[in-house]
Amino acid sequence: MIYRHFPVLFLLLLTPWAFALKPADPGRFEKAIQAFEAEDAAKAPPKDVTVFVGASNIRRWQSLPERFKKTPVLNRGFGGSQISDVVHFAERCVIKYQPKQIYLNAGGNDLHAGLEPQDVLASFENFVTKVRAALPKTGISFISIPASPARWDEVAKVRQANALIAASCAKQGIEFIDVFSLLLGADGKPRSELYVEDKLHFSEAGYDVVTSAIRWQKDIRAFAKKDAEKAPPENPIVFTGSSSIVKWKTLSEDFPGLPVMNRGFGGSEVFDSFNYAHLTVIQYKPKLVVMYAGSNDIAAGKTPQRVLADFKAFVAKVWAALPECRISYISNAPNPKRWSMVAQMQEASRLVEEYTKTDKRLQFINVYPHMLGPDGKPKSDIFVSDQLHMNAKGYVIWKEVVGPYLK
């Protein structure tokens, strides 16, 4: 009796599994694609555009153009999509624009629908094959499948899919942007403030993390390469922040005998230093951190209060791992190019200075008055031609002002 009914029983057990893995019909997104085409007909897309494509975290990224002001961007995300859907519509939502760069973020919906990490990898490689056949010179970057509180029970498969795609990217010369680890808190779980109420999609704070990863991951990896080539000093003095730190090429010469190391990344904001503090600061176990950042924040439209909040977050992150570490903040420097913003920059410095008075492990280094001439404006001979960054004379001033705080 058992054997007689076995085929029927087997079919009953198989059927739900088979339906779970049945490929979704991409036709369900036809209206979304037609809406993109109507948008293109109403207004021609820019040339040499960067296309962001994928699922709902791309579709909902309303602040995308504001975050990448210097780059023409196009949002072609359609919510609920799987990578196979992006492959299906690639000609109509990606390839036709002949983009300079493509950022793909999808895969989570694939796993949620019951597909396996190997299926996600296969779809990703199909996308790469299709794009490269049509656009061999276009850059492709994959933004990792993110962690989310709503789907935390799927995290093992998310990790596996990300690992498979990262390995594939490495073989094909594709940039794999790891946002997964940056979205986690000290407890190893997704940070709730990075998501909206549904606990699945990013809040603006979440998009801060993604933006930072897109902009600076290459710089962070370059630091790792340097460390592999030459071991960093023990308990160093780490200088971090934006381009005025990056361009301080004489740092070691200016402070001989001190274990200084430069971990600045040009164009960065205070949030970026916070976002990557574990890789640019904490892992070296420094006795002192010196930060210069905040000017780019104000230039990007952030408020002095936001500069302070991000600096506080940076301090908290460092102290959670290194409670004895001292942290010094170099005031915003006056420069001719951004003189119209000087009031906001001074306010940001004032707020940070007040905060540094709350703990003896914090110091405020005020370079501002030393960079002004008798007329109360920036000295004309301490900047390079861009009127933003300092020349050797400018760094002599910084050396003299910063040096006593390193003792």
Q: Is 60 exceeded by the pLDDT of residue 5? A: no
Q: Is 50 exceeded by the pLDDT of residue 210? A: yes
* pLDDT at site 39: 97
Domain 15-216 CATH (choose: 3.40.50.1110, 3.10.20.30, 3.60.40.10, 3.10.450.50): 3.40.50.1110
Structure tokens at 264: 């600045």
pTM of the model: 0.90
CATH topology of domain 232-406: Rossmann fold (3.40.50)
Q: What is the DSSP string of 41-90?
A: HHSPPPTT-EEEEESHHHHT-TTHHHHTTTS-EEEEE-TT--HHHHHHTH
Alpha-carbon distance 364 to 16, whole Å?
Answer: 64
Structure tokens at 383: 């900047």
Mean pLDDT over 346-374 rounds to 98
Q: Is 40 exposed, middle or buried (0-12, 13-18, 19+ CB in 10 A)?
A: middle
pLDDT digits (tens, 9 = 90+) for 221-273: 999 999 999 999 999 999 999 999 999 999 999 999 999 999 999 899 999 99
Q: Is 90 exceeded by the pLDDT of residue 329? A: yes
Mean pLDDT over 157-169 rounds to 98
- Give the single-character DSSP code of 110: H
- Each domain of the chain, given as residue ranges in start order, spans 15-216, 232-406
Mean pLDDT over 177-199 rounds to 96
Q: How confident is the model at residue 3 (pLDDT cuts 50, 70, 90)?
A: very low
**End-to-end Cα, the chain, rounded Å:** 88
* pLDDT at site 21: 52
